[in-house]
């Protein structure tokens, strides 16, 4: 797909001439059983319009009732983000017409968010090593998601040029928490990585809290990037663009970088940045102009009269605070120390999103080094091959721990262990099922091995001669023959040992 390409400024020139001002708005779709204001299911991927009711379809007369777990999740996330929790706050209606929003207003929070004024420390890689940067949180508020439109006719799937659209309201009314940062300034070249790190850290936090699966590719965590440039040493804020729905960590960094280069080129050419919504295109790595906000939408917010105020009890808030799980950063530090790995190795684990599975594998009895080796090596390769996340690969940490145990006990060779993993992924059952089913076992009986060695020695007198003469590498031929004879089930190291003992070298 092609898009009109904007001229871009060289990265170094952007940094030389401008300071970026970054703002991030992250929508977290909660993993509640039901929607924000009705009892409809929230399952992803259900048949269209099968998870709707009069309330989330906005049929006349229907009324909303707030999901208690959504409120609790919002308070917990607010606390984890070091926010103050409002002692009293209201929902508000944000009024605008759009076909994927049944009521033609979104129930959100306006000037009374449930959580406000917090911070989140994130770690960004710099040439001088990792640096902790504190991101100030403006607010975290509760709201509801919209439905989903698909566009028919015209260029495939695009809204522009479509003949009509089809709307599925299954997603309409799913609870969201919107986390909004304060403007992040004075970060220069770090902006892209900082944006990525923030979204990544928030995602880890949300997962640690257990309030969302935070699958960016399914849209359960979505990021809007607000970016403006101001000329270095000029105390005047630039106009910002708002890039919507940047839905992977990598894209967050790319979108920031792209917008910096686009706005830099525009400003340098004497142009003007328009305050507008832009769309991020994952495929081409560019942003394009969406709806212009110049004729400013007037959302006509007012307190939602169908819902009563939320007044979290102070004691309850403290109870939730004391029950917060370990924060992701603390957990990472603890695990890194436990496993004894370097910063670099830890970064690799995090980038592979392997922390949780490795931790679980170790909890199931595996040695930390072995667990890391499996997940970062063979399993990462398989996940990559199949284009899924590690967690979605289809093998549980307990299975991996069992495979590692079998290798350590000498029951499986590495080669056999990989075959066992293949078997598990192919749905052949547990590692033990696969071992039995495929007849994969190191032949532990030296007697049968010696018989095979005798045969191989008898068949290769010339090779035996070479070994006896000191050419030890030639032993590979005999070992190979034995392995072939045992269909690969022998432990090659043991075969070599027995052979050497037999030949007396």
> Do residues 137 and 83 make contact, with C-beta atoms less than 8 angstroms apart?
yes
Site for other proteins in 54-93 (CB under 8 A): 54, 57-71, 88, 90, 93
- The span of 55-63, 178-186, 246-254, 377-385 binding Mg ion (CB under 5 A) equals 178-186
If we measure between CA atoms, which residue out of 461, 400, 472, 411 comes closest to residue 436?
Answer: 411
26 is a site residue for Zn ion (CB under 5 A):
no
Nearer Cβ to other proteins, position 145 or 193? 145
If we measure between CA atoms, which residue out of 392, 361, 394 comes closest to residue 375?
Answer: 361
Tell me the pairing of strands 276-281 and 241-246: parallel
Site string for other proteins, 215-254 (x = CB under 8 A): -----------------------------xx---------
**Residue 178 interacts with which of Mg ion, other proteins, Zn ion, none, CB < 5 to 8 Å by class:** Mg ion
Nearer Cβ to other proteins, position 59 or 501? 59
Nearest distance, CB of residue 140 and other proteins, angstroms: 18
Nearest distance, CB of residue 108 and Mg ion, angstroms: 6
| Number of residues lying near Mg ion (CB under 5 A) | 1
Nearest distance, CB of residue 155 and other proteins, angstroms: 13
38 is a site residue for Zn ion (CB under 5 A):
yes
**3-state SS, residue 84:** strand
CA angle 95, 96, 97 (to 5 degrees): 135
Site for other proteins in 283-322 (CB under 8 A): 290-291, 296, 298, 300-303, 305-312
Helix 68-80 vs helix 314-322: angle between axes, to the nearest 10 degrees? 60
- The span of 123-131, 176-184, 385-393, 496-504 binding Mg ion (CB under 5 A) equals 176-184
Nearer Cβ to Mg ion, position 94 or 196? 94
Residue 473: half-sphere exposure toward Cβ, Cα within 13 Å: 0
Site for other proteins in 104-123 (CB under 8 A): 104-105
How far CA 184 is from CA of 16, 21, 329, in Å, comes to 18, 6, 21
Nearer Cβ to Zn ion, position 103 or 257? 103
Q: Six-digit token pair at 207?
A: 């997962």
Helix 414-425 vs helix 431-438: angle between axes, to the nearest 10 degrees? 110
If we measure between CA atoms, which residue out of 196, 280, 157 comes closest to residue 26?
Answer: 196
CA angle 329, 335, 339 (to 5 degrees): 150
Residues 6+ apart with CB under 8 A from 368: 338, 339, 340, 358, 362
Site for Zn ion in 42-71 (CB under 5 A): 53, 55-56
172 is a site residue for Zn ion (CB under 5 A):
no
Q: Six-digit token pair at 94?
A: 């944000």
Site for Zn ion in 328-347 (CB under 5 A): none
- The span of 143-151, 267-275, 448-456, 470-478 binding other proteins (CB under 8 A) equals 143-151
Nearer Cβ to Zn ion, position 9 or 38? 38
If we measure between CA atoms, which residue out of 354, 27, 25 comes closest to residue 220?
Answer: 27
Contact residue for other proteins among 97, 156, 409, 461 (CB under 8 A): 97
**Residue 159 interacts with which of other proteins, Mg ion, Zn ion, none, CB < 5 to 8 Å by class:** other proteins
Contact residue for other proteins among 2, 45, 156, 163 (CB under 8 A): 163
Host H or E run for residue 277: strand 276-281
Q: What is the dihedral of CA 77, 212, 283, 151, to 10 degrees?
A: -110
Nearer Cβ to other proteins, position 23 or 175? 175
**Residue 66 interacts with which of Mg ion, other proteins, Zn ion, none, CB < 5 to 8 Å by class:** other proteins
Contact residue for Mg ion among 29, 178, 193, 359 (CB under 5 A): 178
DSSP string for 89-118: B--EEEE---TTSTTSEEEE-SS--SEEEE
Nearest distance, CB of residue 286 and other proteins, angstroms: 16
Site string for other proteins, 40-59 (x = CB under 8 A): xx-----xxxxxxxx--xxx
Question: Binding residues for Mg ion, per CB under 5 A?
Answer: 178
């Amino acid at each position: 797909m092609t898009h009109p390409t904007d001229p871009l400024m060289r990265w170094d020139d952007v940094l030389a001439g401008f300071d970026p001002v970054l703002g991030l708005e992250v929508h977290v779709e909660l993993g509640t059983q039901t929607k924000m204001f009705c009892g409809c299911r929230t399952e992803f991927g259900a048949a269209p319009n099968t998870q709707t009711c009069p309330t989330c379809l906005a049929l006349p007369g229907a009324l909303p009732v707030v999901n208690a777990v959504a409120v609790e999740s919002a308070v917990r996330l607010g606390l984890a983000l070091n926010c103050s929790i409002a002692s009293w706050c209201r929902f508000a209606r944000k009024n605008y017409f759009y076909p994927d929003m049944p009521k033609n207003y979104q129930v959100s929070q306006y000037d009374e968010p449930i959580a406000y004024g917090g911070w989140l420390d994130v770690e960004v890689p710099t040439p001088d090593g990792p640096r902790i940067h504190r991101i100030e949180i403006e607010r975290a508020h509760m709201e509801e998601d919209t439905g989903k439109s698909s566009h028919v006719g015209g260029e495939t799937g695009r809204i522009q040029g479509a003949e009509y659209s089809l709307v599925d309201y299954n997603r309409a009314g799913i609870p969201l928490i919107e986390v909004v940062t304060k403007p992040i300034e004075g970060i220069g070249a770090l902006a892209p990585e900082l944006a990525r790190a923030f979204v990544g850290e928030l995602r880890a936090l949300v997962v640690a809290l257990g309030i969302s699966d935070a699958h960016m590719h399914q849209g359960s965590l979505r990021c809007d990037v607000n970016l403006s440039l101001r000329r270095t040493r000029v105390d005047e804020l630039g106009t910002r663009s708002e890039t919507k729905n940047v839905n992977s960590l990598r894209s967050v960094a790319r979108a920031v970088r792209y917008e910096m280069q686009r706005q830099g080129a525009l400003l340098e050419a004497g142009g003007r940045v328009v305050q507008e919504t832009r769309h991020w295109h994952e495929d081409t790595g560019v942003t394009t102009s969406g709806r212009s906000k110049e004729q400013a939408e007037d959302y006509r917010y007012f307190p939602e009269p169908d819902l009563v105020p939320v007044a979290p009890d102070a004691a309850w808030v403290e109870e939730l605070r004391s029950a917060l799980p370990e924060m992701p950063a603390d957990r990472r530090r603890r695990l890194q120390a436990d496993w004894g790995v370097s910063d670099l190795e830890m970064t690799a684990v995090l980038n592979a999103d392997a922390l949780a599975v490795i931790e679980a594998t170790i909890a199931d009895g595996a040695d930390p080094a072995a667990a890391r080796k499996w997940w970062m090596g063979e399993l990462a390769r398989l996940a990559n091959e199949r284009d899924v996340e590690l967690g979605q690969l289809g093998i549980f940490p307990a299975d991996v721990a069992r495979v590692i145990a079998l290798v350590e006990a000498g029951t499986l060779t590495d080669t056999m262990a990989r075959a066992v993993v293949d078997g598990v992924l192919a749905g052949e059952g547990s590692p033990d099922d696969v071992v039995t089913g495929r007849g994969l076992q190191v032949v532990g009986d030296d007697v049968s091995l010696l018989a095979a060695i005798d045969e191989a020695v008898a068949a290769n007198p010339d090779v035996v001669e070479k070994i006896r003469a000191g050419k030890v590498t030639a032993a590979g031929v005999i070992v190979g023959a034995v392995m072939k004879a045992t269909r690969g089930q022998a432990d090659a190291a043991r075969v070599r040992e027995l052979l050497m003992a037999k030949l007396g070298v």
